[in-house]
Amino acid sequence: KVSKKIKDAVEFATSVKEIETLVKSVGEFAKGIGNKVTQNTGAIAADAGGNNNGQIVAGAYGLISNINTKVEVLGKKDGISSELRAQLDDVGKKGKAFLDKVKGDSDLCKKDVTDENAKKALDVNNATKDKGAKELGELNTAV
């Protein structure tokens, strides 16, 4: 019985770490805004055409949606404290706030999302965060 509890605790901790890693990886998506991979060298360089960031936004949206599903499943596990359950609920709410912000913004729900708007949505270090980056930063903090 003790070994089962230890195994469950390790699995839970692993799931939490996975969620943390996934949330942090959205920052890597933000690095791709306005950039492309240079043929043959593989270097990341500015994309002269730019403003083709719909796929980056969609990828980040899908990732946060997946995270919310994982958080919901973790929150339903037996044996977790009410304090931990409240923290998981908070993470879920922060993830939902990001998803709602993105899906409600016509500037982000298209193929040709501008570099500027993509940064406002995904770059937590951007000066303007009114398209989701604020919510993403809050999600990072909650995790």
Q: Where are the domains of the chain?
A: 2-142
Query: Residue 135 class from Cβ within 10 Å (0-12 exposed, 13-18 middle, 19+ buried)?
Result: buried
- In whole angstroms, give the CA distance from residue 117 to residue 52: 11
The percent of the chain in helix, strand and coil, each rounded to the nearest 5, is 65, 5, 30
Q: What is the reported pTM?
A: 0.89
pLDDT along the chain (143 residues), means of 10: 83 90 90 91 88 94 96 89 92 97 97 96 95 95 90
- In whole angstroms, give the CA distance from residue 86 to residue 102: 25
Q: Does domain 2-142 have CATH number 1.20.120.240?
A: yes
| Helix axes of 133-142 and 82-103: crossing angle, nearest 10 degrees | 170
Tell me which long-range contacts 80-86 makes (C-beta under 8 A, separation of at least 24): 80/12
Question: Per-residue pLDDT tens for 43-65?
Answer: 999 988 779 999 999 999 999 99
Please state, as a whole number, how many other Cβ atoms lie within 10 Å of the Cβ of residue 139: 26
